[in-house]
Structure 1
Amino acid sequence: MQEEAESGRRTNLWKCVDDENKEDPPLTHSIGALIGGTHRQMLYYDRLSIIVSQEIDIEDDPDPLIAMLIGLHRLTLEKHGIHSIEHRDNTATLFEGRKLTLKKADGNPVALTLGKIIFRQPGIIGRDTCFVEATAEDCGEWKGMETIVKISWQAKSRPSEKDFMDDVKNAVDELPKDGTSHQWVFDHLPNILLSQDFEMAEDSPQARLKAYFDTASYADGDSFEYEERVCRIMVQEKLYSITSLREPRQYTQGIFDILQIHRWVYDHARIIHRDISMMNLMWRRRNGVIYGVLNDFDLSSYCDYKSASALRRTTRPYYACDLLKTDPPVHISSSSFYLPFESWYDMTYPELYDKTYNFFIDSTKNPDTLLPVSVSFSNFQSWLTLCFGLISADFFAENAYHRSKPQSLFTQFLSSRPSGSVGTPLKEFDNATLGGFVDYSAFFQVMCKFADQDLVVKYDPDGEPTQHQS
């Protein structure tokens, strides 16, 4: 109960900060207080952290409250998070015409002229991921290439997207030269030209918190590890959202391309993408051919990386049904289906489990009615129906497995008696593939055809080696 109350207070704080950021001037961070009766706690919030002070009781000792008020009064506008030079007006052109100089891998500088903001995540100014159009000056190797700059705030210990792409290149080079070309993979991955990290200033709140926590410890003596962040600026070739494609055949081939590259990167570079969303499904055109591209590897991890805390298991409404149980199975990757209904945000775990579970097992409802599509996307109905059927089959198989357990025990009991027959050991249910119904091979078989026509297969790990086709 205490944890839920604390979580609720933090959520309310975030909402207050979000409301404040809709006003001028915008905030880089917020300072507030939790007040309950005579009890007070100071709060510091930015996009990287929430810091809560020790609780004080002004009835027992008013001195800390007086010191707190004096301290707040002495803060400058900047320390309050207010930067007068930042304005909400014309945010799309905030960077337009500004110069940015970065260093390439060989140490040589490259000058970029920034353009319009393509996309910016909602959040505190200066802490949100931002994509900006850019053109390179006097850089022959990038000549004629449309480029964008991505500005994000990543954990210092996390590999950059360029690191992951370098690993993909190494994996391609190390594959045996048996006549099967793997150069096709670069058509379906982001072309990252440069990545450079900038650490926080020594007098920044993050640097001061790091210095403090380096010497702090828990009551049991364990040390506290503060996650440092860096400003990571990356330059890459411009890509386009998969949703901007209007030809159904191009759209489906792009999605199928992304399915195949997702598996190839896992099999050969040992990288798990972990951030599948429509915003990260992109396309590019090369030599007149449209290719689906799997973008945004900044949350990716290596297959042998087992730190559950660093894998970030997503948020409650997106949980797979089994994770809503009181004793969930081991889960080290994000759920892969989307949130159909806004009302699911406000449900408890048991309520959410019932809703998501019944969504798939209610045999009285027609899948075509549950998953309606527009006329222009009518050929996608078979994909939706088959994928829905695979997940539904899993739930029925899991139910049958758990119902058969008591019967299996009873059979084994009878087999131990002189006149009993020999019982058959119960095979364990495979949670990793939802009983074998939901795995890569199943989705590959569903998605390799569209409107009764074969799509281009570039990588089938369960079939014959496939040459790249354009």
Structure 2
Amino acid sequence: MAAAFIFDSIPSQFNLAMDHDMGVSMSIQGLDSVDNLNTDLRSRIFVFPQVFLTKILQLPPDWRTVYQTEMKTIRSSKAFRSLLKEYSDTCDSTQDEKMLYHPFNQAWNAGTRALYEKKGKNDKAPPRLGLCRQDSQEVLAGKAALSSDSLRLFESLFEGSGNSLRSIKDNGLSNNLTWVQTLHWFEFKLHPRLLDQGAGCQYRILSEGQSQISHSFPLVSNNKSATDGIDPATPAITIPDSSSDPHNGVPFWTSAAQKRPLTDSARTGGSSKYARVVSTPDVSAARAKFQKGAEEKQSIAMEQMAADSNERKKVSLQCARYALEMLSSAGFRTHCISALIASKQMQPLYYDRSSIIVCKDFHIVDSNGDVTDFFIGTIIGFSKLTERQRGIQRSLCDDSSMVEKYQTHTTRCRDDPKTAFQGVKLNLTVSEDETKVALTLGRIVSRQPGIVGRDTCVVEATASEYEPWKKKELVVKISWPTSTRISEVEFVTRARKKAREMPQSPIDGCQSDWALDHLPDIVHSQDFGYDADSPHATLRESFLTAKWANDQTFLHEDRVCRVTVQERLHRLDELKTPREYAQVLVDIAQIHKWVYDHPRILHRDISMGNIMWRQNCLGIICGVLNDFDLSSYRDDLGATSRHRTGTRPYMSFELLKNDKEGRPPQHLYRHDLESILYAVLLLTRCHQLDGTLPEGRSQLVRVACPKLDGWVHLPCDRLQSEKELFLMTSDPNIEPTTTFKGFKPWLKQLYKMFRTGFRAQSDFFYQLRAAAAPIRAPPPVDRFCPIAIEYTPRQAPAPFNHHTLAGNVDYVKFLGACRFFGGELLHLRNYQLVSDEET
């Protein structure tokens, strides 16, 4: 598989948390980055409807036979037939997309009701679900102001919301809903050309048989044999009206390569028994006029195709943003199943933490106006899903009010996205005797939303009924790491154990276990997997046996829901003075080196969001290096998944560029030192301390810094160039803001240190290329020149230490540049140094 790299820490807005409740300072708190979502979409998987219905909607392979009775029930429902015809007629008559919402919802709901009414008296009826119009208002409690056209939810929740079925047709909901209360969303478009056609989709599962393909609209066959399967991105056959087409049925945008080539005899007329008629001026003019008209039509068609392609990308991005909200703002969701409807065609969509699945569109009604099997199968599939199969994780959080009781959830959370989990009970099993502990969640501290990736969310928590945690101020971190990645708790536990085992210091006043003050204190970690009948499990199995287009293979990453309970730390922006910031940053450099030397762990994700602090038992402020989710042991420095490691604005520029095989480079110790440099730079150039703000609010405020602000939004290649240019420029603008003037000596020395090192590396690479260049042949001997000219081959340069950039970037030099602030020595605590050529 070609490597498809995305970030586990997804930067989207460069937002230093001004709101005290918003969370980790300088963590990236915005909704989404177009660049990151587009990266996810490029790795989407395109499948036929049969695959979607059986692997995601959990229908059996022979669903037409198994659910023959249910399909007949829906088809025979007078209400369903009538409402579906009304929708079909609306599609034919309207040019207003909004006119499609209510008729489709009514038809869908009628089909669902027909299923419920078929249940016998002894059958356990599933909770009733309904589809309702939502476009008039944004869905609440999200990270962005978004409004999907229709939402699917439990009827009990709708009935408790106080909305009127009479007014919803024209006005939508009067009492709004939140993403937490939503089960599925449906988006509408007028034109089928806006549906995803699989263009540019790298991963496509070929058909296993004709049952996967709609019989009403055949596909263009490719050059492969039928046993190889048909590509779902293959376009449907269209039969143009030849009476109005000058190309007699061949589309006018057909390329020359697609047209039948003329034989040599046809070009020359040599085999004809009649002589070629010489063209008259009138014929030539008519031919030229026709050719010009054809070229104009072709140009218009190409422009339309380009415009349609751009519109399709926008629609895909729009749907991805809804999915991101469902996965990040709707509680503990494992995945999101939704659909895109364009006139009489439907395209189901699926998003989870590992993949995005796009179903090839199918027709809702066929050319005769009859409902298709695939549409009825989709209604049945959506209706029969269990809560778990809809993505609701009840084993982690058994709170039905979030999706079933409108007033209970609304009263408790008040449409505030930070209170989505307020009062929710989180069920954990701790200690060897499997003690059951129920944590009560509070406000959301920070969130890094994303689709594919960790999607980390940190929430306040209390454990009033569990004695060991009763007096602790706790936070819960909920994330979705790959199952093969070493957990954060293992790294932190190993580091804290090593700190306690360190020998006593011979230096007065130095504690041997000083590192404990600078490491997070994790009290519990627990993983929640997926059920055997979940879409994740069925997809993982099907990916292993599927036939893929172009011999590609999608490497599915198994992820788990990991819940980590730890002591709450203070955000960086809660500090009050420049000297406090300086001490915390120096503490981070020291604990980072200690962790690298002794437990032999490389952090690999230093950012302002992961630099925190606590007060120790003596009341001293101590910088804490937090979030070891992306860490690795020194003996295993490669990326442990197909994601880069780090938060992009803080990453070393060398890590932003892949090698020739598409792999990220090895993450070195000095790359983390470069991240600390960027943290100092972004803090002191883009922020100011304002002591006039009210007590309880952060005194750190943003100031405009266009050059550095742009680092957040740039794609990897451009950001890599910007950072490289910054570090190689003779005189970049590194002037700190007024209140952070004391950091200017730091910035000057650190910048000089890295610039010298990278220039030395650049010179080494130049010499290496020169030595490898072919040697020019000496000129012929000149008999009139008695002096012989000797040519010696270029010598290869001496070995270069890339770990320290020839000794220019290491821990000692880094700390030497930062150990003083305002002319006074800062506290240096790490006396347990290990001599190492890499640091």
TM-score by length of 1: 0.77
Work out whether 1:152 is the aligned partner of 2:479.
yes
The residue number in structure 2 matching 1:468 is none
CA distance in 2, matches of 1:102, 1:166: 19
- Once residues 663 and 478 of structure 2 are traced to their aligned partners in structure 1, the CA distance between those partners, rounded to angstroms, is 36
Q: CA offsets, 1:140-175, max 9 Å, x none?
A: 333432111222222223232222222123433554
Correspondence list, 1:361-376, <5 A = 361-363=728-730, 366-367=731-732, 370-376=733-739
Answering whether residue 633 of structure 2 is matched by residue 302 of structure 1, we say yes
Q: 1:49 aligns with which of 346, 355, 375?
A: 355
Q: Specify which structure has the bigger relative contact order, considering alpha-carbon pairs within 8 angstroms and separated by 6 or more residues.
A: 2
2:666 aligned with 1:359: no
Within 5 A, what are the aligned runs for 1:67-106?
68-74=374-380, 75-76=382-383, 84-85=403-404, 89-106=415-432
Aligned runs of 1:108-127 on 2, under 5 Å?
108-123=435-450
Measured in 2, the distance between the counterparts of 1:406 and 1:102 equals 58
- CA deviation digits over 1:82-126, x for unaligned, max 9? 995487813322322333342222322333222222223334699
> Is 2:592 aligned against 1:229?
no
Residue aligning to 2:531: 201
| Alignment partners' CA distance in 2, 1:290 and 1:325 | 39
What is the distance in 1 between the residues matched to 2:424 and 2:714?
Answer: 43
CA shift for structure 1 position 227: 2.5
| Residue matched to 1:395 | 758
Query: Percentage identity across aligned positions?
Result: 36
- Alignment partner, residue 798 of structure 2: 427
Do the aligned partners of 2:658 and 2:665 also contact (CA within 8 Å) in 1? Answer: no
- Aligned residue pairs total 447
Paired amino acid for 1:119: S
Cα RMSD, aligned residues only: 4.5
Q: How does 1:25-64 map to 2 (within 5 A)?
A: 28-31=335-338, 43-52=349-358
Q: In the alignment, is the contact (CA less than 8 A) between 1:128 and 1:153 conserved in 2?
A: yes
SS at match of 2:725: helix
1:456 is the counterpart of 2:786? no
**Contact in 1 for aligned 2:601/2:632 (Cα 8 Å):** yes
1:230-249 per-position Cα deviation (integer Å, ceiling 9, x unaligned): 22222111101122101222
Instruction: Indicate the residue corresponding to 2:522 in structure 1.
Output: 192
Range 69-78 or range 287-296, more displaced = 69-78
Q: In the alignment, which residue of structure 2 is the partner of 1:18?
A: 321
Amino acid at match of 2:378: L
More strand by share: 1
**Any gaps of 5 or more consecutive residues in structure 1?**
465-470
Change (3 A) 1:251 1:423: same
Structure 1 residues 265 and 50: alpha-carbon distance in aligned structure 2, compared to 1, 3 A threshold: same
Distance apart, 1:81 and its partner CA: 7.2
What is the identity, as a one-letter code, of the residue corresponding to 1:372? Answer: E
Alpha carbons of 1:227 and 1:372: their partners in 2 closer, same or farther (altered >3 Å)? same
262-271 or 387-396, larger mean C-alpha shift: 387-396
Q: 1:332 aligns with which of 652, 657, 666?
A: 666
Hey, what's the Cα distance between the residues in 1 that align with 2:592 and 2:315? 37
In the TM superposition, residue 281 of structure 1 has moved relative to its aligned partner by 0.7
Q: Take 2:629 and 2:529, find their aligned partners in 1: how far apart are those partners?
A: 17
Calculate the TM-score normalised by the size of structure 2: 0.46
Q: Give the distance between the partners of 1:420 and 1:216, measured in 2 at CA.
A: 61
> Could you say if the C-alpha distance between residues 440 and 14 of structure 1 is closer, same or farther in structure 2, counting changes exceeding 3 Å?
farther
Q: Conserved in 2, the CA contact under 8 Å of 1:379 and 1:451?
A: yes
- Pick one of 342, 358, 378 that aligns with 2:710: 342
Tell me if structure 2 keeps the 8 A contact 1:408–1:424.
Answer: yes
Q: Could you tell which deviates more after superposition, 438-447 or 449-458?
A: 438-447
